[in-house]
Structure 1
Amino acid sequence: MALESNERPDKPITKFESMLKTDDVYFFDAEDFEDIVHHYLNHGKISLAKKGIKIGLQQHPGSIELKLLQVEVMVFENQTEKAEALLDELQLLDHQNEEIYIQRANIYSKQDNHEGAVELLQRALSITTDSFDIYSLLGMEYLFMDNFKKAKESFMKCVEFDEQDYSSLYNVIYCFEFLEDYDGAIIYLNKYLENNPYCEVAWHQLGKQYFYKEMYTEALSAFDFAIISDDSFIGAYFEKGKVLEKLGRHKEAIENYETTISIEDPTSHAFLRIGKCYEKLKDTEMAKYYFYQTVHEDPLLDKGWLAITNLYFNIRDF
């Protein structure tokens, strides 16, 4: 028996899962089915997503959006021939649907035809007003092609749409770094921070650019601002410790590395840096303690074993 959605006040996901456990059949709007399938795809629950698509198409056999989600699952499962055949059918029904071109681009990308994928994504851009996701996909295709200039431009578009899209922000900076354009990255991040002065991610990335250019005073200030913006941001403490080491302020560096350990579980890299600082301070026993902590935390870290070897070599304990 089909039940109208307003007879069950629960959220669509809860209601759908309840339906799967019983013999009842509940009615959902096509949009509800889309939300249900997106939810399961986002959580990697492909079998439940496929059930949602199957039941959704039984109730809404003409839904192009549900069929496009079916294509997405087919592509994920490498059923590219079936996916292309269904896309051919959908394109006859709605040749102005940008999602059709996006899914074709996904197929091309999986086949390592990244130039073809870019052409299709550009076509999708020409027929849509919602281009955020397409620019993100374009950026990834350009990365596959090692076209870091175009990738950078695409990810910049994503950040323009959503300044909180830190994944794209990281990708922008990654492109700057690969191009060794540290000055360009600094200019870009400073401009970004004018509008987002409390963005710990941007301050952290800015500090790293200054570090690459050996502008240690500026790097230290940037990491301090990152910590002010988020006093639990481990990456900023760790990078600040590295700057303090460069400035010869080893006791302060140790304090920052110890802060990372106090916030989250200790890491072998933090132990190693602390050991290196004690070594610089001529405190052999403490250095030895932290080097052994390093290899206890990660027995496969070669730098830890080399640090122990060098320490014994330097004190002539062959």
Structure 2
Amino acid sequence: METYMIKVMYIIFFLSFLISNDKSYSLTEFDIQTINSFRETGFSSFADYTVINNLMNSDFHSKESETHFGMYYMCLINDNLGCANKHLNRSIKIDGKQSYYDLSDSLSLYRDFLENARRAVEKENFNIGIEDYENIIERFPGRGLPFYELGIVYDQIDDRLNAITNLKMAISLNPNKEMYRTAIYSIAQSIAREADDDSRRQDYNSAIPKYLEAISYYPDFTQAYFQLAKAFYSLGDYIQAKDYLLKCLELDSNQLQPLMMIATIYKKLKDNESSERYYKKAIKVDPNSYKAHFRLGTLLMRKDLSLAKKSIEETVRLNDKYYNGHETLGIVNMQLGNINDAIKNFTNTIDVLGDRSKKRYKSLYLLADIYNTKKEYSIAKEYALSAVDIRENGGAANYHLGLAYKNLGENYLAKNAFERASKDKDWRASAKYELELMKK
């Protein structure tokens, strides 16, 4: 008895499982209205195709042959031939009128013709395949699928113009097929990759027309807009670069790289207000972009040192290995009179770079400058000598070395240092002034 009850319970559970997974669907009044509306006006009355896709994915049985006929039409225009065949057969089962049978024969013929064209293409008989698809389009007008497949054939034989023409036609007839748009995007990407290769070779005159071609095929291609702007930027055409970046940002305003580039361009164009605005937008998109904080900080150095300091402090907080951040923060602190903080910033720069890096040069001579100002001339001399080891005739290093030697009473060495500094046009006037003083 117990075994029998277990079997009964198992059967009940199994049946309940089947019932719970029943994929049958009961049509609502809205569904019927949708089917009728599509039959009358096609895609034009739909802003969203979700309800269409849900109906095509559902499996329902209506008592009305016209409802299934409406679904046949919807599926056919959406290039879902299996769905179209299923609902046409259900129409015939309810009402076996001749017109339904005629449509069934036509659908079978359409599918056979498509298969013949596909077989020709698979055998690389492209001319035959193209002719087959053109015959299908003429015999069965108003359907997107043959245009799509013909477009793919043209893409295979590198006839991009005809490929795009046919793919766009497929989309116009059936805007509910994402793979049609994806095919165009794929061609645009292929062209953009060729342009990228040209750009890497710095052949921007070849790259630019290709980016423009890719965009003409896929107007929402943000990466192509960005790369196009980079090409113009590399040629020094900042106005064109800016214009294409603005178009890129119209498509998607939350792109870090275009925001950073356009901010840099505005800075080059002396429009610091716009530059600041776009760096702030970049930070809003990615608050962890240490480079965005750094570039904003360097821009603000011309306007507000306190605000600049905050931005650059955030830079080194986000990336404490970014030597430019430490060094620039040191310069800001020097200008603010925060000498001890500046010393720490410059020593941090040197620590990050390591003892052998030639990039230490600026921090070393600025430390020499600070210690000369503090009248700690021996320390200033050591930092200046380290800078001279990196750049023997560097004007800044030799000038600060000369000051240290002079104040340590080593006039001969001071004179030599100032003479080396005078060869640097940026330090010539200051060095010659010191040499004149030493003659008195």
Q: Report the TM-score when normalising by structure 1.
A: 0.62
Residue by residue over 1:204-224, the C-alpha shift from the partner in whole angstroms, topping out at 9 and shown as x without a partner, is 111100111222122122223
CA distance in 2, matches of 1:197, 1:265: 26
Which residue of the other structure, out of 203, 215, 218, is the alignment partner of 1:91? 215
**Contact kept? 1:152, 1:171, Cα under 8 Å:** no
Residue by residue over 1:162-192, the C-alpha shift from the partner in whole angstroms, topping out at 9 and shown as x without a partner, is 96865x56533331123x2110111112233
Task: Indicate yes or no: 2:186 matched with 1:68.
Answer: no
**Counterpart amino acid of residue 124 in structure 1:** C
Equivalence for 2:269? 145
CA distance in 2, matches of 1:266, 1:164: 36
**Contact kept? 2:418, 2:434, Cα under 8 Å:** no
> In the TM superposition, what are the counterparts of 1:138-217 in structure 2 within 5 Å?
138-155=262-279, 157=282, 161=286, 171-178=295-302, 180-217=303-340
Report deviation, 1:100.
3.6
Which residue of the other structure, out of 227, 245, 251, is the alignment partner of 1:121? 245
Task: Indicate yes or no: 2:400 matched with 1:273.
Answer: yes
CA distance in 1, matches of 2:424, 2:365: 21
Report deviation, 1:199.
3.7
Report deviation, 1:252.
1.0
Task: Indicate yes or no: 2:418 matched with 1:291.
Answer: yes
Between 305-314 and 286-295, report the one with greater CA deviation: 305-314
CA distance in 2, matches of 1:309, 1:93: 65
Give the SS at the match of 1:64.
helix
Give the SS at the match of 1:96.
coil
Structure 1 residues 234, 78: CA separation in 2 closer, same or farther (over 3 Å shift)?
closer
Residue by residue over 1:30-57, the C-alpha shift from the partner in whole angstroms, topping out at 9 and shown as x without a partner, is xxxxxxxxxxxxxxxxxxxxxxxxxxx9
Give the SS at the match of 2:427.
helix
Equivalence for 1:101? 225
Percent identity of paired positions between Structure 1 and Structure 2: 12
Structure 1 residues 231, 94: CA separation in 2 closer, same or farther (over 3 Å shift)?
same
CA distance in 2, matches of 1:280, 1:215: 24
**Contact kept? 2:329, 2:345, Cα under 8 Å:** yes
CA distance in 2, matches of 1:111, 1:282: 51
CA distance in 1, matches of 2:394, 2:284: 34
**Counterpart amino acid of residue 381 in structure 2:** I
**Counterpart amino acid of residue 206 in structure 1:** L
Computed over aligned residues only, the root mean square deviation of the Cα atoms, in angstroms, reads 3.9
Which residue of the other structure, out of 282, 307, 317, is the alignment partner of 2:409? 282
Equivalence for 1:240? 367
**Contact kept? 2:365, 2:384, Cα under 8 Å:** yes
Equivalence for 1:27? none
Structure 1 residues 237, 169: CA separation in 2 closer, same or farther (over 3 Å shift)?
farther
Q: Report the TM-score when normalising by structure 2.
A: 0.47
**Contact kept? 2:326, 2:346, Cα under 8 Å:** yes
Equivalence for 1:219? 342
**Contact kept? 1:149, 1:175, Cα under 8 Å:** no
**Contact kept? 1:135, 1:158, Cα under 8 Å:** no
Equivalence for 2:181? none
Equivalence for 1:40? none
Note the residue ranges of structure 2 that are not aligned, 5 or more in a row: 1-154, 161-186
Aligned length: 251
* Higher normalized contact order (CA 8 Å, seq sep 6+, divided by chain length): 1
